[in-house]
Amino acid sequence: MTQALTYTHYFRIWVWLVGLIFLSVLASGLLPREGALLVIFAAAWVKAVLIALYYMHLKYERWQLAAVVLIPLLLVVGLAVTLVPDIVIGHGK
Amino acid sequence: MEQASTLNRHIATPLSTSVPTGKLGVWWFLASEVTVFGGLIACYILTRLGSTGWKEAAAHLSLVFPLLNTLVLLTSSMTMVMAHAAVEAKDSHRLRTFLMVTVLLGVGFLLLKAMEYSREMAQGFFPHTGLFWAFYYGMTGLHALHVLGGVIVNLILLLTVPTATETQQRRVEFAGLYWHFVDIVWIFLFPLLYLT
Amino acid sequence: MSDMVVAKVADVTPHVYEELGFWRKYVFSTDHKVIAKQYLALGLLWAIAGGLMAYMMRWQLAWPETPVLLFRWIPEPFMYDGYMGPEFYNALVTLHGTIMVFFVAMPVLLAAFGNFLIPLMVGARDMAFPRLNMLSVWVFALASLVLFVSFFVPGGAAAAGWTGYPPLSARAEYTGVEWGLNLWLIALALEFASFLMGGINFLTTVINLRAPGLSMFRLPLFVWMQIVAAVLFMLSVGPLIAGAVMLLMDRLLGTTFYLPAGGGDPLLWQHLFWFFGHPEVYVILLPGLGIVLEIIAVFSRKPIFAYRSIIYATIVAGILSFIVWAHHQFISGIDPRLAMPFSITTILISVPFAFVVFAMIATLWKGAIQFTTPMLFALGTLANFILGGVTGIFNGSAPLDIYIHDTYFVVAHFHYTLFSVTVLGGFAGLYYWFPKMFGRMLHDTLGKVHFWLTIIFFNSAFIPMHLVGVGGMMRRIANPLQYEFLQPLQPLNVWITVSVIMLLIAQIPFVVNCVWSLVAGVRAEQNPWRANTLEWSAPSPPPHGNFAAVPVVYRGPYEYSLPGSAQDWLPQDYEVLTQAAARS
């Protein structure tokens, strides 16, 4: 890969990222609640994955490096799910 | 066995894996940061789902500041990784330029945040105003502190790396990993606080 | 080998190192061995403080409302000519727990032993990030200072329990303690930062800086235990850091994250705390188990039984440790439907630990046991840990826990598990590695006296504590005599206190032994215990840079009593047996 291509490559990802932002803002204003939430959070995840794969180069690294951050993410999600009965459903009781 | 004569040379040990030690260290650091911000964000989501009136509170937030901040941070991520590309291309001039832009954009983020905070406080919204505001200030505040840390690191790199050795220039990549992570956290904070 | 990248590790060559002044060599040092000793010194100092706090608490429990012997010097408003009020008792309870877990067990078991041994055991010249290592010990020293200062601020030290539950901890007016608790939170945050940095160092060093030939499954089990502990700590502490930020905001900025009146939830703190708190107890447990494993192999002259399975069992236990935490909260108002799954996982986690215990016993079986002081402490750890583990089953079962939660039965349980592995295991490690660390042997007979006194008075104190707990005595109360139903238990309380006092006095032989041996002890040879792991291939004590040449590893760490060999040990870095015979 020549250097010129690499800079362009990063710029292209940036264009996608900015596009997704504006998509999210539009969705929050125009779509009904459920649709808006879906678009907004899908867009956020896509942006995060784009940055992780291409800016943090996870696409070109060994999978164990991605595992180092994915496992804690799963843990936090597990924590959140376990807390739903107490903090969400049982709130104020 | 040789004693002092071996130690007098620069001591080189082959690495057990092909991942540079600095990169490995930063990824482990990011793993712990995922649990810090992940924990805080999880608490926000859970508490919000169990409470009422947060949408109304959030309506008092501006959209212009955070939108600008998002663009600022995304662009700074791009310039940071371009700085890394400049290191690989051994392009010292571009390295300096991209690092400088990254630092300036980071400072810009902090200035915009400060302006946003003062606007909200002038309207009477403080951390103790309500639970939504507590989370808002807590999450964006902790994030802003991390941005500040990143700006300082990037500034140090800007001042030292253009004249550093090749191995030391790899630090741009490692600092970039941290900077991208801080950007990713904002990517989630923005919709969670401002768009819902 | 084409993808191997060569890294420059030690920047300071020896002759340059010799020229460094006192401050760079012993205070602002990046050498992992010096940093280890700094952690050890801080940890042992805090151990004295924590032990004295236990003494004061036990005095108050045995002889309530009498002046504590030898403590009349503590000024008002903390104590009144040796008498303590319930608020001061609360502070003692809080600080004893905080100090022992975070300022004794962590720095000694994890940081001191880990820092000293990991580079040596993997054949490296230092940690992966020596300057980060120095920063971590200095941040820990700062944390220590902050905690120390918290004793002297108006309102006194933190007094909401080492668990710091809100709402009590969320507003200064609820405890009467303002900056004491704020500083406590800040000290803990600094301590977490210090150990996060340390954990990064340990993990990268073990993953990347192993000597040639040292595959992961040729690592000593002590190293495996340390890295599992590091991963557990790093993955569990984050949510608590978030929670601590929220608690600090509640206290300093008037937010209501944990106050129901403002829409918050006290249970949120509990969950965040114990999500960390439970893996944390395994974090401080695993290094001690690693120490015991090293010692029993050496002093039974046998390989460790089921080496790989112990590693797998430890990893399974580590994973399980993330899904048991609410067993600390069975009666706190959690959704009752959570009780069963957490009881099941809690009972399950005893299985991998039981496996490790059985593997230890199998290692000892038919070994040529040498009853040195480290071996005595290791055996004592094993025996007492079993007792602690057994009462864990009782506590883990929700229906039974409803009755024994917040009683002294729980206190007895966790002292059996924690004290045995961290204190007895820690002593085992100190006696075993003292020759390597300081170049002198500890006096063996004095060590045996220390062992027998410690183990006798420890058990004498904590076995009756189970009875006191089942008899109904609640935790954290300052005066049991105020309750009529507890008065019949008072003779047991007195017995426990006397045993604790004897236990503390029993540590004097250890202190005397250390001081005397450092100055006038027998000089240690390179490998006094005839052990196989790599640290014994370096001089006692190792110089800066550790090894004359980076060792090459040919085998696993437990090749003892190989059939047909001339001697009963074979170090990891000896090429052939004849070389070993020539060197021994």
Question: CB–CB of C104/C41 below 8 Å?
Answer: no
Residue ranges of B 97-156 with Cβ closer than 8 A to chain C: 126-128, 130-131, 134-135, 137-138, 142
Report which of C327, C332, C328 is spatially closest to residue C265, judged by C-alpha positions.
C332
Instruction: Name the DSSP letter for residue C109.
Output: I
- Above pLDDT 90, what percent of chain C? 89
**Closest approach of A2 to chain B, Cα-based (Å):** 9
Please indicate, yes or no, if residue C2 is contained in any of the structural domains.
no
pLDDT range class, residue A89, cuts 50, 70, 90? confident
Select the residue of A7, A52, A61 nearest B184 (Cβ to Cβ).
A52
Residue C455 lies in a domain: yes
Distance between CA C132 and CA B26 in Å, rounded? 12
**Are C302 and C367 within 8 A, CB to CB?**
yes
Using a CB-CB cut-off of 8 Å, the residues of chain C touching A81 are: none
Taking an 8 Å cut-off on Cβ atoms, the answer to whether C268 and A89 are in contact is no
Confidence of residue C459 (pLDDT cuts 50, 70, 90): very high
Q: What is the pTM of this model?
A: 0.93
Number of folded domains that form chain A: 2
- Whether residue A78 is found in the same domain as residue A55: no
Of the candidates A79, A85, A87, which has its C-beta nearest C275's C-beta? Answer: A79
Burial C22-50 (b: 16+ CB within 10 A, else e): eeeeeeebbbbbbbbbbbbebbbebbebb
Best to test chain A binding among C265, C268, C337, C344 (most A CBs inside 10 Å): C265
With CB atoms and an 8 Å threshold, state whether A85 touches C334. Answer: yes
Give the model's pLDDT for residue C183: 97
Q: Under a CB-based contact definition with an 8 Å cutoff, are residues C109 and C426 in contact? A: yes
In a domain, B162, yes or no: yes
Q: Is residue B21 part of a domain?
A: no
- Cβ B78–A37 below 8 Å, yes or no? no
Structural domain count, chain C? 1
- Confidence (pLDDT) at C582: 55
Residues A88 and A50 in one domain: no
C7: pLDDT strictly greater than 50: no
If asked whether residues A67 and A84 sit together in one domain, one would say yes
| C7:B29 CB<8 A | no
With an 8 Å Cβ cutoff, are B50 and A91 in contact?
yes
Residues 6+ apart with CB under 8 A from A77: B38, B42
Task: Give the nearest chain A residue to C257 (CA atoms).
Answer: A87
B172 within domain boundaries? yes
Q: Which domain holds residue C75?
A: 14-583
Does A56 lie in the same domain as A88? no
Task: Report the first-to-last Cα separation within chain C, whole angstroms.
Answer: 34
Instruction: Write out the H or E segment, with its range, that includes residue C501.
Output: helix C490-505
Residue C27, pLDDT score: 86
Q: Which chains pack against C, by 3+ Cβ pairs within 8 A?
A: A, B
* More confident: C3 or A80: A80
Rounded to whole angstroms, how far apart are CA atoms C360 and C389? 15
pLDDT (tens digit per residue) in C152-161 = 999 999 999 9
In angstroms, how far is CA C206 from the centroid of its own chain? 20
Q: Which of A37-46, A75-84, B37-46, C70-79 has the lowest mean pLDDT?
A: C70-79
Average pLDDT over residues C504-521: 97
- How much is the average pLDDT of C83-109? 96
Task: State CA C418 to chain mean position distance.
Answer: 8
Whether omega before C77 lies within 30 degrees of 0, making that bond cis, reads yes
Tell me the nearest-neighbour CA distance from A56 into chain C, angstroms. 19
Categorize the per-residue pLDDT at C578 as very low, low, confident or very high, splitting at 50, 70 and 90: low
SS3 of chain B: the string is CCCHHHHHCCCEEECCCCCCHHHHHHHHHHHHHHHHHHHHHHHHHHHHHCCCCHHHHHCCCCCHHHHHHHHHHHHHHHHHHHHHHHHHCCCHHHHHHHHHHHHHHHHHHHHHHHHHHHHHHHCCCCHHHCHHHHHHHHHHHHHHHHHHHHHHHHHHHHHHHHHCCHHHHCHHHHHHHHHHHHHHHHHHHHHHHHHC
Q: Are residues A75 and A48 in the same domain?
A: no
H helices of C439-489, in order, are: 444-470
Q: Please give the pLDDT value at position C13.
A: 47
In-domain check, residue C5: no
With an 8 Å Cβ cutoff, the interface of chain A facing chain C consists of 71-72, 75-76, 78-79, 82-83, 85-87, 89-92
Chain A closest CA to C209's CA: distance in Å? 17
Residue C222 near residue C308 (C-beta atoms within 8 A): no
| Token pair recorded at residue C411 | 């206190």
CA–CA distance, C293 with C310 (Å, rounded to integer):
10
Those of residues 231-250 in C touching chain A at CB distance below 8 A are 235, 238-239
User: Is there a contact between B75 and A14 if contact means CB atoms under 8 Å apart?
Assistant: yes
Among residues C303, C385, C311, the alpha carbon closest in space to that of C559 is found at C303
Using CB atoms, pick whichever of A79, A90, A91 lies closest to residue C239: A79
Mean pLDDT of A45-61: 95
Of C509, C50, C110, give the one whose Cα is nearest residue C286: C110
A78 in the same domain as A56: no
**pLDDT per residue as tens digits for the range C519-567:** 999 999 999 999 999 999 999 999 999 998 889 999 999 999 998 888 8
Q: Lowest-confidence range among C221-230, C463-472, C521-530, C546-555?
A: C546-555
The whole domain housing A86 covers 62-93
What letter does residue C63 receive in the DSSP assignment?
S
In a domain, B90, yes or no: yes
Q: Which pLDDT band holds residue A3 (cuts at 50, 70, 90)?
A: low
Encoding tokens for residue C424? 């007895």
Q: What per-residue confidence (pLDDT) applies to C15?
A: 53
The answer to whether residues A48 and A83 belong to one domain is no
Average the pLDDT over each of A13-17, B158-162, C443-447 and give the range with the smallest value: B158-162
Amino acid at site C236: S
Looking at the domain assignment, is residue B153 inside a domain? Answer: yes
Distance of CA C422 to the CA centre of its chain: 5
**What distance in Å separates the CA atoms of residue C357 and residue C281, rounded to the nearest whole number?**
17
Residue B127 lies in a domain: yes
Residue whose entry in the numeric block shows the structure tokens 């899908």: A42
The DSSP result for C223-267, as a single string, is: HHHHHHHHHHHHHHHHHHHHHHHHHHHHHHH---TT-GGGT--HH
Nearest to C423 by CA among C295, C288, C297: C288
Quick count: other Cβ atoms within 10 Å of Cβ C272? 27
Structural domain includes residue B30: no
Q: Does A57 share its domain with A67?
A: no
Task: Check residue C426 and give its pLDDT.
Answer: 97
On whether the CB atoms of residues C416 and C462 are closer than 8 A, the answer is yes
Position B9 confidence tier, pLDDT thresholds 50, 70, 90: very low
Cβ of B38 within 8 Å of Cβ of C239? The answer is yes
- If pLDDT is split at 50, 70 and 90, which confidence band does C10 have? very low
Domain of residue B88, residue span: 63-196
Confidence of residue C23 (pLDDT cuts 50, 70, 90): confident
Question: Same domain for A38 and A49?
Answer: yes
- Kindly state whether residue B180 falls inside one of the protein's structural domains: yes
Residues A47 and A3 in one domain: yes
- The CATH number of whichever domain residue B147 belongs to comes to 1.20.120.80
Q: What is the pLDDT of residue B12?
A: 46
Q: Which 8-state DSSP code applies to residue C37?
A: H
Of residues C225, C151, C146, the one with CA closest to residue C189: C146
Per the domain annotation, does C406 fall within a domain?
yes
Other C-beta atoms lying within 10 Å of the C-beta of residue C327: 23
Alpha helices in C397-443, H assignment, sequence order: 398-404, 408-418, 425-438
Mean pLDDT value across chain C: 93
**Host H or E run for residue C79:** strand C79-80
